[in-house]
Amino acid sequence: MNPEEEKRATPCSSPVFVHNPHLDVMKDDVLYHFALGTATHNLPAMFGDVKFVCVGGSPWRMKSFTEYIAAEIRMEDPESEYPNICAGTDRYAMYKVGPVLSVSHGMGIPSIAIMLHELIKLLHHAHCEDVTIVRIGTSGGIGLEPGTVVVTKKSMDATFLPKFEQVILGKTVERNTDLDQCLAEELLQCSKELNQFETVIGNTMCTLDFYEGQARLDGAFCSYTEKDKQDYLKKASEAGICNIEMESSVFAAMCKLSGLRAAVVCVTLLDRLKGDQMNGSHEVLQSYQLRPQILVGNYIKKLLKAKAGRSCNSATV
Amino acid sequence: MNPEEEKRATPCSSPVFVHNPHLDVMKDDVLYHFALGTATHNLPAMFGDVKFVCVGGSPWRMKSFTEYIAAEIRMEDPESEYPNICAGTDRYAMYKVGPVLSVSHGMGIPSIAIMLHELIKLLHHAHCEDVTIVRIGTSGGIGLEPGTVVVTKKSMDATFLPKFEQVILGKTVERNTDLDQCLAEELLQCSKELNQFETVIGNTMCTLDFYEGQARLDGAFCSYTEKDKQDYLKKASEAGICNIEMESSVFAAMCKLSGLRAAVVCVTLLDRLKGDQMNGSHEVLQSYQLRPQILVGNYIKKLLKAKAGRSCNSATV
């Protein structure tokens, strides 16, 4: 083998990084909000083969994703009910089928951040390598037909800047919210091949609040007019923002810090330029919510099929 | 009756306020994250008698609180399983027994804020009056014996200031986080009468993050030393902060805006000066978590007993 061939033949493995020297001297590590721990569970045996992690707000959706992906990658076990790995707590739900882990994260930045701290430590303790993580979620769209799927280019804050502000010891630290552009393009390409629904790549605004923070007129409190709302959303649109949700910025920041290849795939449940209330029929909203999981499920299936021929520059599975 | 007697005899009823002129012109209101709505549910019939609302992060805890309070106020129905009123969604869980509503809120400011917007609208639509609301939660203590219950005096941010910053249309607005001091004192008095565990009144720090945001050394990322951590917690202690959690500031701010008589009652699961990991035994941590519900359950029982004789300056039930 010449050096170039050898390089291609040798998987370029990328571990999941923690950045915390204190972890090295801890006797064991309790992942409290998962009801798991290094002293009580054999994490490498339980999770060492994980290559894909899908996360979403709703525990029900993450269970349904597991059932869906099991059928897609033909690893379903008719005897299995896919038990919740975090059954000892009601903070998060976690399911696993083959190399795919599915974890719920609740709503909002703090809730997903707790989950990600413990997930990153879990993947680290389990010696996982080359992990791809995708948030599959719901969002409000700006000027898009409801049901459109948005793959996030940049996650932006409420002032339309691509950054996440982390408070550490009372001081604010800015973190980069870059996501993997190559992964985003691959997901877009996968959606084109599927040809079941519209998918776009665009910026996503991440807010700390669903009502006043997203310029909704239907919260318990509202001190602005319909025109103020429209002006704000227009400015967001001019900054390339296609949709609004509540977790992408810290997700992007933490995945980047830990070397996880990350994407955010959210369906838009409504067009915020036309309204604020989620008053579509239950069936229609439910069918929209399936779209990110269909897209990501197909992407995972495609990657697992192409396992042998994949080069280290995109994803090594 | 002289005017003073008349004033005492006439219940001084206080409605639950929304501050949103747009609600008046909406045909109906979908409380999306509760799977409830004005067009689909008779909210006054379902909730018109609510006088107490208890909220907490965990859905399991809120169900157990409902079973506990049902027995305490002797309204338990041996036939009833206390169905989850929000069974159509997995975002929040809600239970009701007599005048007591119990609602979960997930973890973090954004998650509780969504719940509170919809709860305040629910109480408004149901024409509820004179409602007392208590958050019963868990927290990390500073210099307190684990298991101590803290009734919050002031909710403070990560810079030890008693304010909540709400972003509206991309601009930051400061909101007051005052809680009802009279209610806090009544709860402290109730705990003294119970004499089952230590309860103190003190300030509570509310953070956006559980790990770096609370100076923990055991997250996936940590860029500071044990000494930095201790210095930060000491400064917090000097500002009168007894415990740290993740919801009290927006809870205080929104309850104040809507005229709800509000308190925060959290048990401390560990002393943060001595460690970061929640590695107490499951049984001990579980027994600590019961304390806020025992205290608040007894307070509600006491108030319901004293119903007739209570003056409007404290709580009219």
Give average pLDDT by consecutive 10-residue segment, chain B, 317 residues: 46 81 95 97 98 97 94 77 94 96 98 98 97 98 98 98 97 97 98 98 98 98 98 98 98 97 98 94 94 97 78 46
CB A262 within 8 A of CB A252: yes
Average pLDDT (A285-296) is 97
Binary contact (A117, B219; C-beta < 8 A): yes
**Pairing, β A100-104 against β A94-97:** antiparallel
- The residue of chain B with its CA nearest to that of A229 is B169
Average pLDDT, chain A: 92
Residue A212 has pLDDT above 90, yes or no: yes
Mutation target for A interface from B29, B65, B117: give the one with most A CBs within 10 A: B117
CB contact under 8 A, B110 and A114: no
Which residue of A lies nearest to B222 if distances are taken between CA atoms?
Answer: A20
Which residue would you say has higher pLDDT here, A153 or B315? A153
pLDDT at B13: 76
* Contact check, Cβ <8 Å, B124/A221: no
B222 contacts in chain A (CB < 8 Å): 19-22
Strands B52-56 and A149-156 come out as unpaired
Across the interface, whether the CB atoms of A18 and B111 are under 8 A apart is answered no
CB contact under 8 A, B222 and A19: yes
Which amino acid is it at B274?
K
Is it the case that residue A284 has pLDDT exceeding 50? yes
Selecting from A106, A117, A212 the residue whose C-beta is nearest the C-beta of B107 gives A106
Instruction: Give the phi and the psi of residue B227 in degrees, each rounded to 5.
Output: -65, -45
ipTM of this predicted complex?
0.93
**Number of A:B CB contacts under 8 A?**
209
pLDDT at A317 over 90: no
Nearest to B108 among A111, A160, A224 (CB): A111
Please give the distance of CA A307 from its chain centroid, rounded to a whole number.
Answer: 22
| pLDDT tens digit sequence for A239-260 | 999 999 999 999 999 999 999 9
Distance from CA of A277 to the nearest CA of B (A): 7
Question: Taking CB atoms and an 8 Å limit, are A212 and B167 in contact across chains?
Answer: yes
Contact A267, A139 (CB under 8 A): yes
Task: Write the residue in A30, A109, A224 that is nearest to B278 by C-beta.
Answer: A30
In chain B, residues with a C-beta closer than 8 Å to the C-beta of A53 are none
What residues form DSSP beta bridges with A172?
A167
| CA of B83 vs chain A CAs: smallest distance (Å) | 17
Please check the confidence at residue A310 and state whether its pLDDT lies above 70: no
pLDDT of residue B78: 66
Task: Outline where B195-244 has alpha helix (H).
Answer: 226-238
In order of A153, A187, A260, the CA distances from A315 in angstroms are: 18, 13, 11
How many Cα neighbours within 13 Å face the side chain of A177? Answer: 25
The reported pLDDT for the residue numbered B313 is: 47
Question: What residue has token string 């509503």?
Answer: B101
Q: Do A20 and B219 touch (CB under 8 A)?
A: yes
SS3 B263: strand
pLDDT of amino acid B76: 74
Name every chain B residue with its beta carbon within 8 A of the beta carbon of A123: none
Question: So what's the pLDDT on residue A1?
Answer: 44
- Cβ <8 Å between A18 and B114: no
Inter-chain contact A29–B277, Cβ cutoff 8 Å? yes
What are the C-alpha distances in Å from B317 to residues A220, B8, B51, B189, B310?
24, 14, 7, 19, 8
The torsion angle over the Cα atoms of residues A259, A265, A271 and A275, rounded to 10 degrees, is -70
Chain B residues in contact with A22 by the CB 8 A cut-off are 217-218, 222, 226
Measured between beta carbons, the chain A residues lying within 8 angstroms of B118 are 220
Amino acid at A268: T
Report pLDDT digits (tens) over B54-76: 999 999 999 999 999 999 888 77
Shortest Cα distance from A23 to chain B (angstroms)?
6
Indicate yes or no: CB of A90 within 8 angstroms of CB of B59. Answer: yes
Tell me the CB-side half-sphere exposure of residue A33, using CA atoms within 13 A: 26
What's the pLDDT score for residue A77? 72
Of B30, B91, B167, the CB nearest to A158: B167
Gap between the Cα atoms of A241 and B45, Å rounded: 42
CA distance A5 to chain B (A): 36
Closest CA to B219 of A35, A30, A174: A30
Give me the pLDDT at residue A7, please: 45
